[in-house]
Structure 1
Amino acid sequence: MLYRIIDADDLPSLIRAFMDSYELVAPVKHGPGYIFDVIDDPSDVVLDYPTTIASPKKYFLPSEETLFKFDVASNDVVDFEIDIKPRVLFGVHPCDLNAIERLDAVFLDSRYGDPYYRARREATLIVGVGCMPTQNCFCHRVDADEAPRGYDLFLQDLGDRYWVSISSVAAAEILEESTHLREATDEDRALFAAATHRRTAAFDGSIPNVQDIAMLMDTYHSDPFWAEFGSRCLNCTACAAVCPTCMCFDIKDILSPDAKTGERVRVWDSCNSPHFARVAGGHNFRADERGRVRHRMYHKLNGFKVKHGSMLCVGCGRCVNACKVNINPIEVFKFFDEKTRSSAVLSKEANDAE
């Protein structure tokens, strides 16, 4: 890993240099919030943004995409050629960088890699940016507040300059050609440490720091808490729509009006949807909200970690903002915190009694 310093005034030049060869996607103001969108003017880019409404996941895994087309009469299948543009995702927060790595583990590194995802992923450079947590951010509680990898460049704002972490040759060449790079000084390192400290101190301290979350998901799997928690669910699936790591999808065959041709389409789905676990014959393995909400939390906080070594939740807080009935991992952490505290008190009382 290389570390360099650029002046803040060089940032527009860097953005323009990327735009010369790539489609550039970056955070922009959109109504009351921020979204990732294609950029035509470098001045539209906002790097000191709070969490965007939705993640950049859609640039690797679109909400709807054609997989192939078919002819019913001839029984022919034609692969659908997607138009892949070389792209730069610019200004990605650490939580979203971690989320992309989680998606990579499923769509790239699994036994059966996904060619559609791979084509977009390999055509994309990622430029990360340091951030300040909002009230609902809890990435520090799920080990996703830092991104040691998963980017080509990473920018940390130091005021009138940026600390730049460089991890790819392609991005380094553009950086060198478009900015005035210099070595980091002791002053720069001090500013970087101070920025890191400010960010750490800005997290909401009331969000419990719960240890062994995966184990607790097993321990309290049958607790009455899940019945009450799940009963709030409106089945709107807003949580999955904004989540940077939700990857469930449905496959649909769509016929033309004359039923002679058609196309197979992949669309986002959600395990919180009432129909998600319904199988042939009509049986639904998770027919009630309790089972669906618990399953979703279990996969985020336990199941994925067992297989891939990290939680699927990256603590971005988008589900906290999106859910109108307060169903989110923070509430699960509070439940676990209360349970473990109660257990500690009972254990102490038992020991005292002896």
Structure 2
Amino acid sequence: MLYRVIDSQELPALVEAFMEDYEVIAPVESGASYAFEKVTSFDEIKLDYPTTITSCKKYVLPPRETLFKFDALNNEVTDFTVKVTPRVIFGAHACDINALNSLDMVFEDSRYRDPYYEARRGATLIIGISCTPTESCFCHLMEADEARTGYDLFLQDIGGRYLVSIGSVTAANVLESACNPREATDEDRIAFRQATRKRQESFNEEIPDVQEIAMLMDAFHSDPFWDELGSRCLACTACSSVCPTCFCFDIADTLGPDGKTGRRERIWDACTSPQFAMVTGGHNFRDSNRNRVRHRMYHKLNGFLATHDRMLCTGCGRCVRACKAHISPIEVLKFFEEKGA
């Protein structure tokens, strides 16, 4: 990995350089919170944001997208094409970069490659930035607090300057043209270690570290705990709406006003939705909130790990804040901590 150092005042020039050839998406203020949106000026960007309401997932996996158009009367299908915009996501935290890496494993699987996802992902550069954890962040427990891959540049604030980790030639060329990157000195490396230590010490110590979480998900699969958790669930699907790694979707045919033409669309879906596991004939494979909540947690903390060797949960804490019933992986971690006491 190649490292360089730039001064903080060079960031506007870096963003402007990207804007010459790319649409720039960055964190901006959105009411009392923050969101990833298109920006036209560096002044709109808030790089010291805690966590956005939703992640940048929507720019590679839109909530709703057309797959093809059809004419039912003439039995014709037309491929739907959309211009993929070259894009830079500027200011992604490590947890969100790791979330994109997990989505890559799903949609860029060589057995089932998804051309829609690949087109958007291939046209997107990721510029990461360091952050300070909030009270609901637990990315360090999911091994997602550091981004080792999946970015083109990663900026670590080391006080008045940034240590830049370079992940692609394309981004390196933009950095070189817009800024005056220099080699890191011993002073820079010391500042980097201090910043890393400060971030590690900022995590909420009340969130327990349960090392054997995946095994415990199997061992306590039938515990009454899931009944209690399920009884609180409102089936509102807010958790999956804000989650950076939820990738389930539904396919729907939408007819036009004439009732003869329409389009087939891919739409985000959620395993906590009562209709998610319902099949033809009316049978529902997960017909209770208990089973749906347990399934969601199991997939995040066990199932994905078994197939991809990493947790699907990145510990970003969005679901913690979104759930009005206070259901989250943190509750599961606390339950297993009590079981092991």
TM-score (norm 1): 0.95
- Superposition deviation, residue 73 in structure 1: 2.0
Segments of 5+ residues of structure 2 without an aligned counterpart are none
Mapped to 2, the partners of 1:254 and 1:181 lie a distance apart of 51
1:258 paired with 2:258, answer yes
1:271 aligns with 271
Mapped to 1, the partners of 2:311 and 2:82 lie a distance apart of 31
Aligned-residue Cα RMSD (Å) equals: 0.7
Segments of 5+ residues of structure 1 without an aligned counterpart are 342-354
Larger Rg: 1
Q: Deviations over 1:183-231 (max 9, x none)?
A: 1000000100000000000000111110111100000000000000111
Instruction: For 1:153, give the aligned amino acid.
Output: L
TM-score (norm 2): 0.99
Mapped to 2, the partners of 1:30 and 1:263 lie a distance apart of 32
- Superposition deviation, residue 110 in structure 1: 4.5
% identical aligned pairs: 62
1:83 aligns with 83
Return 102-111 or 231-240, whichever deviates more. Answer: 102-111
Instruction: For 1:305, give the aligned amino acid.
Output: L
Q: Deviations over 1:243-290 (max 9, x none)?
A: 000111111001122222110011111000001000000011111100
2:299 aligns with 299
- Superposition deviation, residue 74 in structure 1: 2.0
Q: Deviations over 1:306-325 (max 9, x none)?
A: 11110100000000000011
- After TM superposition, the structure 1 = structure 2 runs for residues 147-186 of structure 1, keeping only pairs within 5 Å, are 147-186=147-186
Mapped to 1, the partners of 2:257 and 2:171 lie a distance apart of 47
1:204 paired with 2:211, answer no
Mapped to 1, the partners of 2:263 and 2:197 lie a distance apart of 52
Mapped to 1, the partners of 2:57 and 2:194 lie a distance apart of 31
- Superposition deviation, residue 82 in structure 1: 1.6
2:335 aligns with 335
1:10 aligns with 10
1:246 paired with 2:246, answer yes
**Secondary structure at 1:208's aligned position in 2?**
coil
Q: Which runs of 4+ in 1 moved over 3 A?
A: none
Q: Deviations over 1:322-347 (max 9, x none)?
A: 00111000000000111111xxxxxx
Q: Deviations over 1:137-165 (max 9, x none)?
A: 00011111111110000000111100000
Q: Deviations over 1:26-47 (max 9, x none)?
A: 0001110000000111111111
2:23 aligns with 23
Mapped to 1, the partners of 2:152 and 2:258 lie a distance apart of 48
1:141 aligns with 141
**Secondary structure at 1:21's aligned position in 2?**
coil
Mapped to 2, the partners of 1:255 and 1:46 lie a distance apart of 41
1:191 paired with 2:191, answer yes
Mapped to 2, the partners of 1:43 and 1:299 lie a distance apart of 40
Mapped to 1, the partners of 2:279 and 2:72 lie a distance apart of 26
